[in-house]
Amino acid sequence: MPGYDYVIVGGGSAGCALAARLSEDPAATVCLLEAGGANKELLVRMPAGVGNLIKAKGKHNWGFWTEAEPHLDGRRLWWPRGRGLGGSSAINGMVYTRGHPRDYDEWRQFGLTGWSWDDVLPYFRRLEGHHRGECDGLHGADGPLRISGGESDSPFHDALIEAGRQAGYPVTTDFNGASQEGFGRYDLTIHDGSRWSTAAAYLRPVLARKNLTVITDARTTRLILDRTRVVAVEYAQGKTLQRVEVAGEVLLSAGAVQSPQLLQLSGIGAPDRLRKAGVDCLHDLPGVGENLQDHLDIILNWRSKDLVTAFSATKGLRQIATGLNYLLRGQGLGRQQFLESGAFVSSREGLSRPDVQIHGVLAIMQDHAKVKATEDGFAMHLCQLRPESRGRIDLASSDPQADPLIHANYLATPEDRRVMRECVKIGRDVASQAALDPYRAAELAPGADMRTDEQIDAWVRANAETIYHPVGTCKMGADGDAMAVVDAELKVRGIAGLRVIDASVMPTLVGSNTNAPTIMIAEKAADMIRGRRGERLAA
């Protein structure tokens, strides 16, 4: 066999979308390699299972750790990343936000032709099967990714939105509509009570296509080069190394952690860093692994009163009943993920777009749900949307089975520290409003004794964590950008037959959850590969 037209490495948010779109052409042969499994288990399908998926390393979660973070008291931070078909869309919080239009216009200002808001909006519309319908041309009604509103009847979510209004913030009916800023309800990637990952949305409906081959439990170990062209992909199944030949292109969609890792394992990257890990440099590309950005998050917790939260709704035998009700009837609290309200707000006046995001949770949250709640309460996640700090991904060794080294480098600048300090103050201000009086009891974290800026800064250093949005490690850049890994067509510079298509190509972090933008990138890339452009989009 001469090889596949397209070999996609990674069956995650981008990879599943690519496999579905490229295999629409019956003349094209497509192979999708995924290191994990099929991800069909009840825990993945049931929205309420998200806490168990996020907190544990295993078949669904790579479970990485950062290196010691110098500005976070030397702590190593837990970094969940999805494993198996659907990738992180199979373990995430199912919040669907696209980012601010200026995020994409900024990419265009970097010289990236074709990446402005007007350029990417048609692809967002194409991927969406939105509960609002087309909605003034801002949404799509017929796309594969089904997007719903929340089902919770708890008074907490409306109370949080009203508290935001009382604190002086706007209220918005659609974070992905005409105005992102303000408090409101989130759109969710849930369909008929089931998590709607990209595996469910894109891949499973097309698995019967004769031109599509999906190989799971196949961990890619390296890309095989013939001088400056990729000719094959090597992967391991168990202890056996195998290879798949490439007639056309390799599309690397392994995510912001593992796409740069695989390039580095293949000899593509900064020569000195590769040599340090015991890898010969075959192509000098210094930007590989650099430009790492992520949303750093703090969680404020309150004990509640007169409010049924996730704790009391599912404690004891009720947890078993919730699972059985969902398994047998598809009904009950298993259909919910307890996070349906939030906000996009500004930490100071004069900003062109919000720089803080809030997720309201009907539960006490500690350490990625690793610490089990023992009482009723509610939480606010608050994260900085546009960090100045930059980190990097390095190889730990030449062993492809070894986790890479993650240097997130959070809070490296005074502005990042200021915004996180303001996050605490914003959350407390909103929680103090009259709308939450019927439900708010004692503040559990940071706690009433944490008041001065110095105390707040110390608490942030000791408690801040990722909210799971790493990007940027295979940066897209214009000609002349020495640190660009890919060009505006997502082609790896200097290597023929290779593109990177996932969150790692984002030059800057969008001001939102990153799953929807990652799927958009895949949709747009599929048209680039096939020579199509936005004006020729079909619904």
Q: Which of 167, 169, 190, 196 is nearest to 180 (CA)?
A: 169
**What is the longest distance spanned by two Cα atoms in the chain?**
69
The span from the CA of 112 to the CA of 170, in Å, is 33
Residue 451: phi and psi, rounded to 5, are: -125, -40
Dihedral-angle region of residue 58 (phi above 0 means left; psi in -120 to 50 means alpha; beta otherwise): left
Nearby residues of 528 by Cβ (< 8 Å), 6 or more positions away:
489, 490
User: Residue 14: what residue type?
Assistant: A
Q: Is 260 helix (H, G, I), strand (E, B) or coil?
A: helix
End-to-end CA distance of the chain: 35
Nearby residues of 84 by Cβ (< 8 Å), 6 or more positions away:
11, 34, 36, 37, 38, 39, 44, 59, 60, 90, 199, 216
The span from the CA of 364 to the CA of 379, in Å, is 5
The CA-CA-CA angle for residues 470, 503, 171, to 5°, reads 75
C-beta separation of 234 from 222 below 8 A? yes
Q: Which residues are catalytic?
A: 469
